[in-house]
């Protein structure tokens, strides 16, 4: 770890209340002031519902700006060009986007397509010499994730995963408290992540495009959350699947999985991932000296929660605005969020998902 990183980490732990840029609350406050530094020029690939949310949030960014789009649907390109003033020369389709290489108006491509397409698209963007932000899950298994990491390293570009909670102020506060030892020895994390999925023909229920079911899409929040709330990597998993609708949830598409993770300190996590229950968005962290509970914990917000010290009062700021300004700062200045969100971090989650699926299949504990 470099000395600058050391320095920043120490500051993060001990003096987060100072107006340092990597504190999301202060980052946003700072961004209200005049900013004349570099602007991250972003092209979005895949103009679906989450892309729309990200583009809208980016209108409030100071350090990042939407400058291009990649889409297979010409009518969407027309709509987005008009809405965001995107010049025609910054618009691409899935056949010709390798030409982005010659375009100085694009620094980074944000891949917001179905999970099963992320790997190939990320590798093509990396080969075109642009940084990549890729939505979660980064791919459909750990091997794909590792190939993406390797390709971005070989091309000397950054790979960041769209883990927006790593910039969310209440989440950051709980992580700060955990790093400062305010919960004492951590014993237990509970994560519940789910919603009731609708249209049975959507790509999220297609094994090839989704890579799985609820675990890939929403259960990953409990996995990632367990890791950043406990601050450790699991060493084993156990998992049990329940399927009540085998028409909607075909072979390889999970409906509900309960899973448990064990950590080197002895802490355990007990989690639920589902596409068959509504309003399931809750984290609970328990330590010898305190607790944190958040509900909702990973939705678009406002996130709500309390600890043994009282209610979490950090402001609600649109997650994707913070994320994109934070990622711009990471790319230009090397300022890391409180927990990393690079490709390696994404691979850690994918390894756990692989292990959970194996544990479901074998009925046995899987060591990591």
Give whichever of 12 and 248 is closer to ligand NAD, judged by the CB atom.
248
CA atoms within 13 A on the CB side of 122: 35
Give whichever of 217 and 232 is closer to ligand NAD, judged by the CB atom.
217
Map the footprint of ligand NAD across residues 170-189, applying CB under 6 A. none
Give whichever of 151 and 341 is closer to ligand NAD, judged by the CB atom.
341
Contact region with ligand NAD (CB under 6 A), list: 31-39, 108-116, 140-148, 356-364: 108-116
Question: In 15-48, where does DSSP find H-type helix?
Answer: 24-32
Map the footprint of ligand NAD across residues 14-53, applying CB under 6 A. 46-51
Between CA 236 and CA 92 the distance in angstroms is 44
* 164: contact with ligand NAD by CB under 6 A: yes
Contact region with ligand NAD (CB under 6 A), list: 114-122, 224-232, 247-255, 261-269: 114-122
Give whichever of 195 and 236 is closer to ligand NAD, judged by the CB atom.
195
- The verdict on whether 136 is a catalytic residue reads yes
Minimum distance from residue 216 beta carbon to ligand NAD (Å)? 7
DSSP state of 246: T
The tokens describing 267, both together, are 């802490």
- The verdict on whether 179 is a catalytic residue reads no
* Contact in structure between 85 and 58 (CB atoms under 8 Å): no
Distances (CA, A) of 82 to 48, 61, 77: 17, 19, 9
Give whichever of 128 and 341 is closer to ligand NAD, judged by the CB atom.
341
Q: Which of 119, 136, 248, 348 is catalytic?
A: 136
Q: Is 20 exposed, middle or buried (0-12, 13-18, 19+ CB in 10 A)?
A: middle
Q: Pattern of binders to ligand NAD over 208-227, x per CB under 6 A? A: -x-------x----------
Instruction: Identify the residue among 135, 241, 255, 345 touching ligand NAD (CB under 6 A).
Output: 135
* 195: contact with ligand NAD by CB under 6 A: no
Q: Which 3 state secondary structure label does DSSP give 91?
A: strand
User: Which residue from 89, 122, 81 is spatially nearest to 105, judged by alpha carbons?
Assistant: 89
Distances (CA, A) of 66 to 54, 78, 152, 333: 10, 15, 22, 20
Distances (CA, A) of 209 to 42, 162, 337: 24, 18, 30
* 115: contact with ligand NAD by CB under 6 A: yes
Give whichever of 80 and 183 is closer to ligand NAD, judged by the CB atom.
80
Q: Which of 163, 221, 275, 357 is catalytic?
A: 221
Minimum distance from residue 134 beta carbon to ligand NAD (Å)? 8
Minimum distance from residue 48 beta carbon to ligand NAD (Å)? 2
* Contact in structure between 346 and 133 (CB atoms under 8 Å): no
Between CA 365 and CA 144 the distance in angstroms is 24
* 155: contact with ligand NAD by CB under 6 A: no
Minimum distance from residue 124 beta carbon to ligand NAD (Å)? 13
Contact region with ligand NAD (CB under 6 A), list: 106-114, 143-151, 279-287, 349-357: 106-114
Map the footprint of ligand NAD across residues 51-70, applying CB under 6 A. 51
Give whichever of 41 and 118 is closer to ligand NAD, judged by the CB atom.
118
Minimum distance from residue 346 beta carbon to ligand NAD (Å)? 12
Q: How far apart are the first and last CA of the chain?
A: 24
What phi and psi, each to the nearest 5 degrees, are found at residue 81? -60, -45
Instruction: Identify the residue among 203, 236, 291, 332 touching ligand NAD (CB under 6 A).
Output: 203
The tokens describing 156, both together, are 């000397």
* Contact in structure between 281 and 241 (CB atoms under 8 Å): no
User: Which residue from 259, 51, 301, 362 is spatially nearest to 167, judged by alpha carbons?
Assistant: 301
CA atoms within 13 A on the CB side of 4: 4
Active site residues: 136, 221
Question: Which residues lie near ligand NAD (CB under 6 A)?
Answer: 46-51, 72, 112-115, 117, 135-136, 162, 164, 203, 209, 217
């Amino acid at each position: 770890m470099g000395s600058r990183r050391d320095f920043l980490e120490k500051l993060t732990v001990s003096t987060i209340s100072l107006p340092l840029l990597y504190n999301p609350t202060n980052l946003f406050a700072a961004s209200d002031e005049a900013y004349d530094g570099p602007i991250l020029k972003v092209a979005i690939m895949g103009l679906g519902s989450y892309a729309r949310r990200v583009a809208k949030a980016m209108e409030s960014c100071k350090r990042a700006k939407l400058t291009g789009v990649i889409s297979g649907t010409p009518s969407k390109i027309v709509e987005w060009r008009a809405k965001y003033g995107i010049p025609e020369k910054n618009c691409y389709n899935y056949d010709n986007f390798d030409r982005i290489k010659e375009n100085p108006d694009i620094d980074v491509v944000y891949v917001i397509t179905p999970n099963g397409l992320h790997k190939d698209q990320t590798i093509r963007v990396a080969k075109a010499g642009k940084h990549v932000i890729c939505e979660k899950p980064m791919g459909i298994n750990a091997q794909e994730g590792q190939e993406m990491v390797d390709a971005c390293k070989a091309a000397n570009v950054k790979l960041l995963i769209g883990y927006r909670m790593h910039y969310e102020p209440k989440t950051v506060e709980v992580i700060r408290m955990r790093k400062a030892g305010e919960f004492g020895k951590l014993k237990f994390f509970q994560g519940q992540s789910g919603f009731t999925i609708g249209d049975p023909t959507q790509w999220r229920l297609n094994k090839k495009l989704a890579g799985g079911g609820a675990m890939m899409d929403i259960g990953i929040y409990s996995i990632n959350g367990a890791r950043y709330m406990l601050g450790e990597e699991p060493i084993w998993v156990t998992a049990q699947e329940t399927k009540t609708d085998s028409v909607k949830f075909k072979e390889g598409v999970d409906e509900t999985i309960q899973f448990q993770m064990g950590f080197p300190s002895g802490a355990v996590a007990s989690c639920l991932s589902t596409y068959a229950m509504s309003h399931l968005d809750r984290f609970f962290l328990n330590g010898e000296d305190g607790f944190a509970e958040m509900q909702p914990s990973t939705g678009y917000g406002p996130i709500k929660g309390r600890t043994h010290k009282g209610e979490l009062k950090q402001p609600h700021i649109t997650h994707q605005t913070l994320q994109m300004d934070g990622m711009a700062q990471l790319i230009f200045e090397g300022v890391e969020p409180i927990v990393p969100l690079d490709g390696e971090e994404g691979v850690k989650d994918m390894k756990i998902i692989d292990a959970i699926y194996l544990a479901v299949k074998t009925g046995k504990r899987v060591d990591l």
